[in-house]
A = this chain, B = another copy of it.
Amino acid sequence: MGGIMGLDGVRALGFDVFGTVVDWRGGIARDAGPFLKRHSGRDDPLAFADAWRGQYQPAMEKVRSGQRPFVRLDVLHRENLETVLPDFGIDPARVAPAELDELNLAWHRLDPWPDVVEGLTRLKRRYIIATLSNGNVILMVDMAKRAGMPWDAILGAEVAGAYKPSPEAYLRTADMLALKPEQLCLVAAHNSDLAAARRCGLKTAFVLRPGEQGLGQHADEAMQDWDVSASDFLDLADQIGA
């Protein structure tokens, strides 16, 4: 793992967000808990979070494959919510749409991992730091304002008009920063995301997030010799001299 050598020439860091920057599982469970109790008396919000997130890739795949035009992630999350509610004993047609809209905003209220704000603040001194997420612009903006995440720019799927791991998501982000692919580094906790970025010529920084899937569950560990491999954003900042 090359440390500073590994990121030679890099001018910007593009961050995966769900799982890498914020704890989607804990945040969704927190907001879904009272909703589930109220509507079905159930008390399994973590299972609900997993089920809702489980619809994420299939929904984006319809866009990536061209089955439907690009729609922002808020729209997919809202559709997916209606898909999973029956499995938790709730008929979405019997819930006020405004209440479903409000629950859908739980994705805008996810908390960052404890090292994130300090880590980003350090990394920002030396690099352009931008989101490179499948989350849409207002989702990222709401999340950042709530938690104080100091992004230089909100980029990624909606601005690129393509969902990761489609090459356009990475390459259009680099282009908008007027960078060659190798001057942009993806920071992510997921090997598949990093592998797709590497195929586009981006540099890659792996960050371990053992809490993403919950205690005792499988967490992604670095599966390739990524340019940098870090235990959190502070370790990443240490390694790349920020």
**A residues with CB within 8 A of B:** 74, 124, 128, 130, 136-138, 140-141, 144-145, 150, 152-155, 158-159, 176-179
Contact = CB atoms under 8 A, between A and B. Distances in A.
A49 B122 CA distance: 36
Contacts of A74: 178
Contact of A128 (B124, B145, B152, B177): B145
A120 to B, nearest CB: 13
A153 B154 contact: yes
A144 B152 contact: yes
B145 A176 contact: no
Given A130-B141, A137-B176, A137-B177, 19 more contacts: A74-B178, A128-B141, A128-B145, A136-B176, A136-B178, A137-B153, A137-B155, A138-B179, A140-B153, A141-B152, A141-B153, A141-B177, A144-B152, A145-B152, A150-B150, A153-B153, A153-B154, A158-B176, A159-B159
11 contacts: A128-B145, A130-B141, A137-B155, A137-B176, A137-B177, A138-B177, A138-B178, A141-B177, A145-B152, A153-B153, A158-B176
Contacts of A178: 74, 136, 138
Contacts of A159: 159
Nearest to A155: B137
A52 B223 CA distance: 52
A145 B153 CA distance: 10
A186 B227 CA distance: 42
Interface hub of A150, A155, A179 (most chain B Cβ within 10 A) = A155
